[in-house]
Amino acid sequence: MNVLSLTLLGVLFSSLLTGLIIFFLKEESHRLRTWLNLLGAGLKLVLVVALLRGIYLGKTYAWSFEFLPGLPLALGADANSMLFVTLSTVLWFWTTLYAVGYLEDSPHRSRFFGFFSLCVTATTGIALSANLVTFLIFYELLTVSTYPLVVHRGTAKALQGGRVYLTYTLLGGAILLLAVAWLYSLAGPVPFKERGAIEGLMVSHRRELQWLFLLFMAGIGVKAAIVPLHGWLPRAMVAPAPVSSLLHAVAVVKAGAFGIVRIVYDVYGAENAAELGVLPPLAIAASVTIVYGSVCALFQDELKKRLAFSTVSQVSYIVLGTAILGPLAAIGGLVHLVHQGLLKITLFFGAGNYAETLGIHRVSEMNGVGRRLPLTTAAFTVAALGMIGVPPLAGYVSKWYLSKGAVTAGDHWVTVVLAASSLLNAAYFLPILYRAWFLPPPEKWPAEHSFGRWETHWMLLAAPLVTAALVIWAGVFAESAFSPLAWVKLIAAREYGP
Amino acid sequence: MTPAWFMGGLILGPLVAAALAFTFPKRGRGMACAAAGVVGIAVTALIRAVLGGGVSSHRVSGWGAPLGIDLRADGLAVLLLALTALIAVAVTGYAAPYLRATDSPEARHRERYFWPLLLFLWTALNALFLTRDLFNLYVALELLGFAAVALVALEGKGDALRAALRYLFVSLSASLFYLLGVALVYGQCATVDLALVAGRAQPGPALTVALALMTGGLIAKAALFPLHFWLPPAHANAPAPVSALLSALVVKGAFYLLLRLWFEALPVFHTPAAARLFGMLGAAAILWGSINALTQSRLKLLIAYSTVAQLGYLFLMFSLMTGRDGGFGAWCGALLLLGARACAKTAMFLAAGNILRAAGHDRINDLAGIAQVLPVSAFALGLAGVSLVGLPPSGGFAGKWLLLSAGLREGQWWGGAVILVGSLLAAAYIMRVMTRAFTPAAPGTAVRPVPPIMEWTALALALVAVGMGLAGSWLAELLRVGGPWP
């Protein structure tokens, strides 16, 4: 065990230990819990930066442990995993801050933050998994640790939403387990490798590999909310706002999308997958999801529900980018993993602020909120415009590369899908912005709270402002060396390079 | 000290303590603690001896088989001895405050007999795991059965007595079948020693009948579908610590004996047809038990039916023992599952006992608010559920994974499908309980306080069940000792 593998484990344990300690804290020790939370999240951030620097300098990080005979639990850090781990760690820090402000004075906070930390531990584990079995283990852990967060409020609706969530994800998990065990019986533990790890089976087990691909997509597609497996996501909206951010931007949906990227690039290899003919159906499923999600979002009056359907649609951009062969589309898909996270978390922070400060839950109640919460609404606006794909914001960069990739690959119909989706995005986001800024506010808000100096609690305000700034940065400085795009180009070059 | 001493201590320690506890009723708890100390040291030493020096065996007083008594500890035996010790210690810690809840004559009566019976049960299990001949195994099995029946009857109320009587009837007739089988084996092989029988056995009608009789008896004791009917009432009506013991250990004793019989004494009879029959019964048990668990209205009955289902997984192993690795994967998988499920089941029954004490009932539909009143117990229930469903990193996951991959490798798709469906059904019935438990209570619900130790014992065992998966490699190494695997 050397310093390198210790750093790797440190990234995992910084949140695991925090979570375990928090479970045993008394409900009243608010200050201690907050410090522990921020300390864990901060430490994780520092370790991730160290990891990034190490990888940049060409060090390799790996750690493994024989979990069962012939079955290693292996962690490692490659370019792909760093993309996801950095995203979730950065967003995690701000979500924690936000959650502390959001849940002030609500019951069962130790339970909440304990599971919150376990949840990010599982996400980090998913990102750092170096083989398929390890991925499966953390993937299931994520399911378990999210459920208590979804049902946190304990209302009949929350429990119902939780039940739907668990039903979908456990079914998906069982299918994934079957797929992993089947592939294991053919090829061993399957370490993740650029350009795929199943070369040897391509000729002898063609038919099996095709079936396996279907099983993998069905299993992971539940978390990635691919239509028709998306039903749980809009219903999980009953959870508190920080949990929604977690589901949509940091952990769950992202884990699904990341899993699909892993399966296509690092288990099958994009070229092998194309050879097997499994990518076109995936591209079609993703396109259907993109359009369907946007159309559904149009008809939602509940703000969080509208955002949820928007997630259904947006996450499939990542899947679409993965399913189209070629480096450009890959860049578009992968970079959207980061961009969608930044955009959607800002939107959910905004929605949470409207609900917490003014008691607003519906789009139809949002008239004039821009005057009462100008900073929150500004952040919300930036993210909404980014989603639509207005240059130079983050969403534009993703869509640009996706369409360029599709044209290069000869899939011209994809550009039509992207254009339609952008129009639909505009159709469901612009009316919100119009109401917020240009319509007069009502005489009285549904349930207004006052938080002193700022328009809302400072923790609730800081988080969306920072993430909105990141949205602008990821778009404006996309071509600089320190941007998600630069990192993603590196991954694509390795997957498709000479 | 040699391993022989440790093996002796494992049997004599609880036996002497049982006799003393019976003679001095006020000292029952102290005796159990003393026995726990002795057994704890002996088991630890024996594990080290077995890991370091392979199988340990000992001829009592120098008389070897076929005349004398041979004690033998291989990886399988040591694992089960350790599991028994762990659960018995937990139950001892739990039972002390549990039995002292009220100071009525009935309660004193219960406490008077609980400790000696617990210790007899422990003796019987340890003897069962260490002896090597069919007749001594019968003696141990009989002692186990009597102790278990008496413990069920301890509650002394109508339902419990009826269940105990039914259990006694099944247990006695099952023993009779087993004994008949042993007599036939003796007639054929002129020995009852496991190793010698294996050497002399020739497939033929007499031995087939003998094996069928013994297997039938043991299946009834192990409550394999369709002979499980006695289990749910017996387990659900016994006091919580007793339910835990029965579900975690007693039925596993009979299963252990089946393993010895089929894989050591008479492996020649382990034909594909027999394997398939076991596998089918196991699969039926998984489905039947799980579906019944889903429809129960009482928590303890739900847990009992879930035991019926869990036993099915163990029997699935019989059909998977044909692989290229000599079935080692399936063997480890089933035994890991056995260990993890034993801990999880104990945790669940103990948590159910806490709920029963706090709320005065265990009706699933009225469990609202339990998570607020008994957070630790609710957490234990949830964690045990995680292991039962087989979510990582629990021991349940490790075992399920090994069984599933063995099944897929051998092309036994139906086995894999049953395993997956079974775990989804388990998720469904656990979720049913947890959803109720996390519903906020109606204000003004009165509850009785539960001593913290009773809550934390449940949680500790649930944590062991969840953590066991991480020790999978080590346990597999232990199981390899004394088995036919390279």
Q: Give the span between the Cα atoms of B21 and B117, in whole angstroms.
A: 9
Angle at A45 between CA A462 and CA A338, to 5 degrees: 70
A143 close to A166: Cβ distance less than 8 angstroms: yes
Give the closest-approach CA distance of B434 to chain A in angstroms: 10
pLDDT band, residue A430 (cuts 50/70/90): very high
- Do residue B427 and residue A166 have CB atoms under 8 angstroms apart? yes
- Strands (E) across A351-431 are located at none
Tell me the residue type at A486.
A
**For A240-271, what is each residue's pLDDT tens digit?**
888 888 877 778 898 999 999 999 988 998 88
DSSP-assigned states of every residue in B95-138? HHHHHTS--SHHHHHHHHHHHHHHHHHHHHHHHHHHB-BHHHHH
Helix or strand holding residue A313 (H, E): helix A303-323
Q: Give the span between the Cα atoms of A399 and A224, in whole angstroms.
A: 19
Eight-class DSSP state of A269:
-
Q: Is B427 part of the contact surface with chain A (CB cutoff 8 Å)? A: yes
Question: Does the pLDDT of residue B68 top 80, yes or no?
Answer: no
Q: Give the span between the Cα atoms of A104 and B139, in whole angstroms.
A: 63
Mean pLDDT of A67-92: 87
- Strands (E) across A397-445 are located at none
Question: Does the pLDDT of residue B271 top 90, yes or no?
Answer: no
Residue B385: C-alpha distances to residues A74, B59, B253, B350, B463 (Å) = 26, 43, 23, 13, 11
- Strands (E) across B201-338 are located at none
Longest dimension (CA), chain A: 72
**For A431-487, what is each residue's pLDDT tens digit?**
999 998 998 888 888 877 777 777 777 888 888 899 999 988 888 888 887 888 888
CB pairs under 8 A between A and B: 76
Q: Give the span between the Cα atoms of A416 and A477, in whole angstroms.
A: 27
Range of weakest confidence among A221-225, A491-495, B23-27, B141-145: A491-495
Exposed/middle/buried for residue B2 (C-beta within 10 Å: 0-12, 13-18, 19+): exposed
Q: Give the span between the Cα atoms of B379 and B354, in whole angstroms.
A: 12
Q: Give the span between the Cα atoms of A118 and A17, in whole angstroms.
A: 9
Q: Give the span between the Cα atoms of B372 and B369, in whole angstroms.
A: 5
- B-chain CB neighbours of A132 within 8 Å are none
Q: Is B262 part of the contact surface with chain A (CB cutoff 8 Å)? A: no
Q: Give the span between the Cα atoms of B4 and B49, in whole angstroms.
A: 10
**Residue in A137, A151, A181 nearest the CB of B405:** A181
**For A187-216, what is each residue's pLDDT tens digit?**
888 888 888 888 878 788 888 899 999 999
- Do residue A69 and residue B438 have CB atoms under 8 angstroms apart? no
The domain ranges of chain B are 1-131, 132-269, 285-486
Q: What is the pLDDT of residue B318?
A: 85
Q: Give the span between the Cα atoms of A23 and B382, in whole angstroms.
A: 15
Q: Is A164 part of the contact surface with chain B (CB cutoff 8 Å)? A: no
Mean pLDDT of A49-55: 87
Q: Give the span between the Cα atoms of B344 and B348, in whole angstroms.
A: 6
For chain B, what is the mean pLDDT? Answer: 86
pLDDT band, residue B408 (cuts 50/70/90): confident
| Helices B251-260 and B105-130, axial angle in degrees (round to 10) | 10
Tell me the residue type at A63.
W
Residue B452: C-alpha distances to residues A28, A79, A132, A318, B107 (Å) = 20, 48, 41, 50, 20
For B437, name the nearest residue in chain A, comparing CA atoms only: A154
Q: Is A143 part of the contact surface with chain B (CB cutoff 8 Å)? A: yes
Mutation target for B interface from A25, A66, A67: give the one with most B CBs within 10 A.
A67
Q: Is B389 part of the contact surface with chain A (CB cutoff 8 Å)? A: yes
Q: What is the pLDDT of residue B85?
A: 93
B340 close to B394: Cβ distance less than 8 angstroms: yes
Q: How far is CA B310 from the centre of its chain?
A: 11
Q: Give the span between the Cα atoms of A326 and B454, in whole angstroms.
A: 61
Closest of A476, A474, A473, A498 to residue A488, by C-alpha: A474
For A111, name the nearest residue in chain B, comparing CA atoms only: B375
Per residue, the 3-state secondary structure of B317-372, as one string, reads HHHHCCCCCCCHHHHHHHHHHHHHHHHHHHHHHHHHHHHHHHHCCCEHHHCCCHHH
Residues 168-227 of A with CB under 8 A from B: 170-171, 173-174, 177-178, 181-182, 184-185
φ, ψ of residue B58 to 5 degrees: the values are: -150, 135
Angle at B413 between CA B409 and CA B419, to 5 degrees: 100
Q: What is the pLDDT of residue A188?
A: 81
Q: What is the pLDDT of residue B486?
A: 56
